[in-house]
A and B are shown apart, each in its own frame.
Chain A
Amino acid sequence: MPQPPPPTDRGRDEPPPFLGSWSRVYLGVAIYLVAIIALLHLFTRLLNR
């Protein structure tokens, strides 16, 4: 039976290319989400009647 090709670094949990660790990247995305909800809240408050 064919098996999917295992690339050499498949199992390795490499660090991300920015911010040093995956935890920091995830935290960055979470902060981004909070910021975007805050921005959209401001957008609603300022522009919608």
Chain B
Amino acid sequence: MRLIDWWVMCGTLAFIIFYGLWRARGSGTTAGYLLAGRSMPWYAMALSIMATQASAITFISTTGQSYVDGMRFVQFYFGLPIAMIIISAVAVPVFHRANVYTAYEYLEQRFDARVRAVVSVVFLIQRGLAVGIALYAPAAVLTVILGWPDQLTTLIMGCVVVVYTVVGGIKAITWTDVQQMTIVLIGMMTALITAFLLMPGHVSPLDAIHLAGAAGRLNPVVWSFNPNDRYNVWSGVIGGMFLFLAYFGCDQSQVQRYLTGKSITQSRLSLLFNAVAKIPMQFLILFIGTVVFVFFVFERPPVLWQQAEMKHIQTLPGFPDVERRYYTAFDARKLAAEKMLSARKQSDTPAYEAGFAAYRQAQTELNAAHSEAAKLTGTKDFNDTNYIFLSYVTKYMPVGIVGLVLAAVFGAAMSTSSAEINSLATVTVIDIYKRYIKRDATDHHYLRASQLFTAFWGIYAVATAQYGKNLGSLIEAVNMVGSLFYGTLLGVFILALKMPSVGARAAFYGVLLGESAILAVHATGKVAFLWYNVIGAVGVVLTGWIISRFEPAPRT
């Protein structure tokens, strides 16, 4: 990184944070600190919701994923618009009218304190596990790219997040999210345009798209159904819908964003904006990855993207052979690509088909050589896709743009972490501290408690991120833990919102039995985790409903 990139990155981030803190003036009450005094316009909430969901690892990992696997990951988001419609129609008016700080507070109004407590604790466990990883995961990649120790990267990022989250509360978070999301979108658009401009002179954008398609990378829709395959239309629409219903409807880190709305209309508009914008945005991010793939059809990529591992395997006796295979395949793929483009321009179909076959064959050999290199690392399930995009950005992008894109990545990491810390603090204060420890204190007391618990969860996030190296193999496990609980959360909210005949006891035991059903399915290891959300929600609803049938009718 050159000096100007540092200026761009630090200047952008500093501006975002100071702007957020400036907008957060006047958050001197608990309601102001935790709900922005219910004053937020729809566009601020919309971008905050988007920024909270799109973590840095989403940008880093998604581009890498389309580089190696194409664009089919976009199907993961097909269920999101349906989920947003349901939440807007059903949950938003109920939460607004219930006049609550947290979604779980409503569960006590509808059921009892026991259901609220168990769901709040489930949220604290689940988010508490994830919050350190949200800081560490992008830091681990940035560490390799920037050459800093990972503890330093997490510490700097964490401290900045903690300061503006503690000082400014949700207003600062929301307004920094707006700026961060704007920078992310500008950064991504700039990355896409620059990627096209960096192609060799004879390769037009249409040629690049053609080569991406010929490599099977332009595959955003796959209709074939396979319960073990995470990314097809069916798992996206059905599994994705349940996941996003749970995430946006029951997870306080998202619910709190739209509880800050001026009115039901403003909150609904913020969710529906995401319903419309999310798929095109994900498509754009994935498309950047495919364009980067085409860039490396003409430019030599490293054998491994993770430089530390690359340096390690270079010392091994098996490496020269793997490297030779890799670059032989690279040269063959480049030659085949040139032949395909030339044949296409001359409308020479036989030459084009011959080039196409050679291109696909060379790609297969390249993948095989990369797998061999991965085996040399000695790491089980070695995966370096998260390093592709940032390696490309830092090595090839023009000065200034590098700083902007890295600011976007840092911004995305900070927006997700700040929302998680803020929601953990809110649930701790409102659902635990105020409910069970100090019931009748002043507003000032709860404001101070909110600030203290925000600082606590922030320090906890930074501390757990310091051990991120040891948690590295748990990133997948944390995602799994989320899916293990989301179905249950969704199930209990379906009972609360749509099944008035189900009482507190039935809901409580429904939660326990529904959760048992998910754990039983998880133990078989035969179902992709996206489906756990469906199984959990249906399990809670069914068991809750069955138990309610055997309960005496409530006295009127």
* Chain A interface (Cβ < 8 Å from any Cβ of B): 1-7, 9-14, 16-17, 22, 25-26, 29-30, 32-33, 36-37, 40-41, 43-44, 47-49
Closest 9 pairs between A and B when the two form their complex, measured CB to CB: A47-B213, A2-B443, A48-B218, A40-B220, A47-B218, A33-B81, A41-B221, A44-B221, A26-B85
- A6: B residues at CB distance < 8 A: 99
Knowing A10-B99, A49-B214, say if A29 contacts B263 (CB, 8 Å): no
> What are 24 inter-chain pairs, A to B, with CB distance below 8 A?
A1-B434, A1-B446, A4-B101, A5-B35, A9-B262, A9-B263, A10-B38, A10-B264, A11-B93, A12-B264, A14-B263, A16-B265, A16-B268, A16-B269, A17-B269, A22-B88, A22-B89, A30-B85, A33-B279, A43-B221, A47-B210, A48-B70, A48-B217, A49-B216
- The interface size of chain B toward A, counting residues with CB under 8 Å, comes to 54
A17 to B266, CA, bound (A): 10
- B164: A residues at CB distance < 8 A: none
A42 to B489, CA, bound (A): 37
Interface digits, B74-107 against A, CB 8 Å rule (1 contact, 0 not)? 1000100110110011000100110111000000
* Chain B interface (Cβ < 8 Å from any Cβ of A): 29-31, 35, 37-38, 70, 74, 78, 81-82, 84-85, 88-89, 93, 96-97, 99-101, 209-210, 212-214, 216-223, 233, 262-265, 268-269, 272, 275-276, 279-280, 283, 356, 434, 439-441, 443, 446
**Does the CB pair B35–A4 fall under 8 Å?**
yes
CB-nearest residue of chain A relative to B447?
A2
- B217: A residues at CB distance < 8 A: 48
| Whole-angstrom distance between the Cβ of B183 and the nearest chain A Cβ | 25
| Whole-angstrom distance between the Cβ of A47 and the nearest chain B Cβ | 4
A37 to B283, CA, bound (A): 12
- Contacting B97 at CB < 8 Å: which of A11, A40, A49? A11
A42 to B216, CA, bound (A): 15
CB-nearest residue of chain B relative to A16?
B265
A1 to B97, CA, bound (A): 18
- B85: A residues at CB distance < 8 A: 26, 29-30
| Whole-angstrom distance between the Cβ of B217 and the nearest chain A Cβ | 8
- A22: B residues at CB distance < 8 A: 88-89, 268
A43 to B99, CA, bound (A): 45
- B81: A residues at CB distance < 8 A: 29-30, 32-33
A4 to B439, CA, bound (A): 15
**Does the CB pair B38–A48 fall under 8 Å?**
no
- B269: A residues at CB distance < 8 A: 16-17
